[in-house]
Amino acid sequence: MLHYLMKRYALSRQGAIDLVKATAACTLSNLVLMLPAGLLYLLVADLLAGGIPAAHYWVYGVGCAAALILIALTTFLQYNATFFATYKETAVRRISLAEQLRKLPLSFFGKKDLSDLTTTIMSDCTTLESAFSHWIPEFFGSLVSTVIIAVALLCFDWQLALAALWVLPVSFAVVACSKRVQNAFSRRQAAAKTALADGIQECIEAARDLRSNNAEGAYLKELDKKIAFAESRQIKSELGTAMFVVPAQAILKFGIATVALVGGMLLAAGTLDALTFFLYLMLVSRLYDPLTASLQNLAAINSTQINIDRMNEITDCPVQTGGTDFAPDGYDIVFDHVGFSYESGEAVLRDVSFTAKQGEVTALIGPSGGGKSTAAKLAARFWDVQQGRITLGGVNVADVDPETLLSAYAIVFQDVTLFDNTVMENIRIGRKDATDEEVLRAAHEAQCDEFVSRLPEGYATRIGENGSQLSGGERQRISIARALLKDAPVILLDEATASLDAENETHIQEALSRLVQDKTVLIIAHRMRTVAGADRLVLLKDGVVAEQGTPAELEARGGGYARMRALQEGSAAWTL
């Protein structure tokens, strides 16, 4: 049962156990709430018998006090079992989702955007928090307590019991049959909310471009349409639920009428006494109150299926695994007949073979879309190849745990990610245990001193979200400083100097040349001057190795490298 609950409601094992406890607490609370009805029944029996005996006063007094105490205790127990346990489970769920995302291959993120994942971790978890603190335990608790009470009613008088209970399966069947319709509304509502979140995020990120192109008005009009569409989907979803819940609740109320009708007939026939008739009318009115809320809870539970499916999509996705015992024989990177394609199925690399030797700089060059960045990311096992293999020091990278493997890599990509922290701490990410002196030395080698000296608090200045206070070149230098600080045996540079001017690029290349000793360097660049000093060039075109060799060898061949070099030299002389 625990395994089913874990899968059905995207719970941890402890969360499934807590759900069972919460259901038991809700059941107990519902049963205790029937105690006042029992006391009232005894009181009416005494009154009909001619009055309350003196000896019974203390019974009613103690009974009322005991009922109040039990109601208070069970309510407290129910609160702890539902709310407190739910908050803990929500934290566990968010952490487990984040941990799962950390272990997933990048191929998963190619199918998802940031807004979708953020919605799953934040909004979907919040929805399930409401489900487990309000809807699910109370729903199942109401069902269990109703079954217990129904058995008692059937034993006491089966005719009145049937008159009271026939509405229950009918009402719940109406709501249960709405699940498919609710899921359809929920999917459309979720899609509209995701599209709106995407639009808002895109508007914020592209604010500069929108303003510079006088496109703010047109974009905001489209955003208004997305807001209105999301609102209409929310209303339609609520209406779709109400179309089933309201009729089901109305059917539930017919139970009181049938109890009154059947009871009146039995009372007139002399087969039922007035006290029993009164008892059933009282119990039925009390029985239907939690069930009315349960119908709403059932509809709400049905609507959570979309949220649960989105979470299960993350948790069920296979993670990259591998051994943590990584002992390579050197750090040569070898591509051995590698083939790779993304989700679209179109091959990005086809039968690619080359070696990036330790102690040398190997440059990947070629036209855009040729597979250069993909090759670098495959070397670090951001994806797994479909054909061939990639080895580091003779060890297949697919057999190594990704985090263990990445400890051997220092990576600088063209798209730099910085954090809303100080310059010092952004660089220290390269090696968390580095001293301030080591951080400053790496920053100096990456030519960071020049722009940091202009910041109000120097290296202690917070640079905003993703380094919003810095230019592209300044952000890139911080990223290079991280790589220098990490001092890993393998260095991957993907257009690492693309945002730098010629002077800073020269200085940083000098720093990298000092760093490269006894290391494996794989660099991607479009500017030929950047790779002029490389030991080996690999030209990737249309996913295949078109040519490879030293810069002098490729220049002498007069092939693709020679043409690219000639074109760039010619464009350098072009002026307005």
Q: How confident is the model at residue 73 (pLDDT cuts 50, 70, 90)?
A: very high
Domain ranges of the chain: 2-315
- Tell me, rounded to whole angstroms, the distance of Cα 210 from its chain centroid: 29
Q: Are 540 and 370 in contact (CB under 8 A)?
A: yes
Q: How confident is the model at residue 10 (pLDDT cuts 50, 70, 90)?
A: confident
Q: Are 311 and 100 in contact (CB under 8 A)?
A: no
Poorest-pLDDT segment among 75-89, 441-455, 493-507: 493-507
Rounded to 5 degrees, φ, ψ at 173 are -65, -40
Q: Are 331 and 408 in contact (CB under 8 A)?
A: yes
- Output the pLDDT for position 424: 93
DSSP state at residue 490: E
Q: How far apart are CA 48 and CA 298, in angstroms?
A: 41
Q: Are 515 and 487 in contact (CB under 8 A)?
A: yes
Q: How many CB atoms lie within 10 A of CB 512?
A: 24
Q: How confident is the model at residue 194 (pLDDT cuts 50, 70, 90)?
A: confident
- Output the pLDDT for position 264: 86
Q: How far apart are CA 26 and CA 88, in angstroms?
A: 19
pLDDT digits (tens, 9 = 90+) for 414-437: 777 888 889 999 999 988 899 999
Q: Are 240 and 303 in contact (CB under 8 A)?
A: no
Q: How confident is the model at residue 575 (pLDDT cuts 50, 70, 90)?
A: low
- Output the pLDDT for position 168: 85
Q: Average of pLDDT values for 335-355?
A: 87
What does the block give as tokens for 374? 């993909």
- Output the pLDDT for position 504: 64
Q: Are 397 and 376 in contact (CB under 8 A)?
A: no
Nearest one of 510, 479, 507 to 492, comparing CA atoms:
479
Q: Average of pLDDT values for 109-117?
A: 70
pLDDT at 551 over 90: no
- Output the pLDDT for position 507: 63
Q: How far apart are CA 242 and CA 237, in angstroms?
A: 9
- Output the pLDDT for position 317: 81
Secondary structure (3-state) at 247: helix
Amino acid code (one letter) for 553: E
CATH 1.20.1560.10 corresponds to the domain 2-315: yes
Q: How far apart are CA 234 and CA 212, in angstroms?
A: 35
Q: Are 540 and 375 in contact (CB under 8 A)?
A: yes
Amino acid code (one letter) for 454: R
Q: How far apart are CA 364 and CA 374, in angstroms?
A: 11
pLDDT at 4 over 60: yes
* Largest Cα–Cα separation, the chain: 120
Please classify residue 514 by burial: count the beta carbons closer than 10 Å to its beta carbon, then call 0-12 exposed, 13-18 middle and 19+ buried: exposed
Secondary structure (3-state) at 339: strand
- Output the pLDDT for position 572: 56
Q: How many CB atoms lie within 10 A of CB 112?
A: 15
Residue 536's H or E segment, with its range, is: strand 536-541
Q: Average of pLDDT values for 145-154?
A: 83
